Amino acid sequence: MKNYKRKFKKLTLKLVNLAEYGFLVEPCYYFYGWSKMKSCFARSSVAKKLLLAKKYLPKGCNFKIWDGFRTRNTQRLMRMSFKKRLESLHPDWDSKKILDALNVFTGLPNKKVTLKGHFTGRALDLTIVNESGEELEMGTDFDDITEKAALNYFEKKKSLNWREKNVKKNRRLLKGAMKKSGFKPYPPEWWHWFYGK
């Protein structure tokens, strides 16, 4: 535990406030009462890569960030809430199926392999906003827990309506900008991107 605390302190020293880099921040988990952080934070290397990604967006567009660095306590509160949502969405699912879905959308707070970068300040949950600060249509809300949240969902879907075609285009824009700047996706969630190991 001591070791963890030391590591945590060392890491927090490396974090930067993403609002200071000119990105829009909307710290959702602070608003939900799951986090004490009033802004979104990440490693400076991640913030710099996101500045690069912004150059690939159309003029006037920006990134809106919902979450970056996250504590284990926030993760624990998220997981409890997601479990309730899954249970009410799928009353017919047994506990194994609920747990499997839960593990796709929220990592375990105490397991290294499922960190996906939020605990180390390497991951961001974000979208694109236009020059008026409005979010581009991405097909689902942030933290949607359905198959539609998958980054390539609309690439695979046949016969898209005009609205879905627009979503596909917007997701491609996000994907292109992030990938060209060195970020990697988490395929089940279009909003989650990480940089580094």
Site residues (CB under 5 A) for Zn ion?
125, 192
Alpha-carbon torsion 81, 83, 89, 91, what sign?
negative
What spatial distance separates the first Cα and last Cα of the chain, rounded to whole Å? 23
Give whichever of 75 and 170 is closer to Zn ion, judged by the CB atom. Answer: 75
Q: How far is the CB of 99 from Zn ion (least distance, A)?
A: 19
Give whichever of 125 and 178 is closer to Zn ion, judged by the CB atom. Answer: 125
Q: How far is the CB of 92 from Zn ion (least distance, A)?
A: 28
Q: How far is the CB of 124 from Zn ion (least distance, A)?
A: 7
| Whether the Cβ atoms of residue 24 and residue 62 lie closer than 8 Å to each other | yes
Q: Which residue has the closest beta carbon to Zn ion?
A: 192
State how far the Cα of 184 lies from the Cα of 116, in Å rounded to an integer: 10
80's CB contacts (< 8 A; 6+ apart) are none
State how far the Cα of 149 lies from the Cα of 193, in Å rounded to an integer: 13
| Whether the Cβ atoms of residue 51 and residue 44 lie closer than 8 Å to each other | no
Q: How far is the CB of 74 from Zn ion (least distance, A)?
A: 11
Give whichever of 122 and 192 is closer to Zn ion, judged by the CB atom. Answer: 192
Give whichever of 164 and 184 is closer to Zn ion, judged by the CB atom. Answer: 184
State how far the Cα of 162 lies from the Cα of 174, in Å rounded to an integer: 19
Give whichever of 101 and 125 is closer to Zn ion, judged by the CB atom. Answer: 125
Q: How far is the CB of 118 from Zn ion (least distance, A)?
A: 6
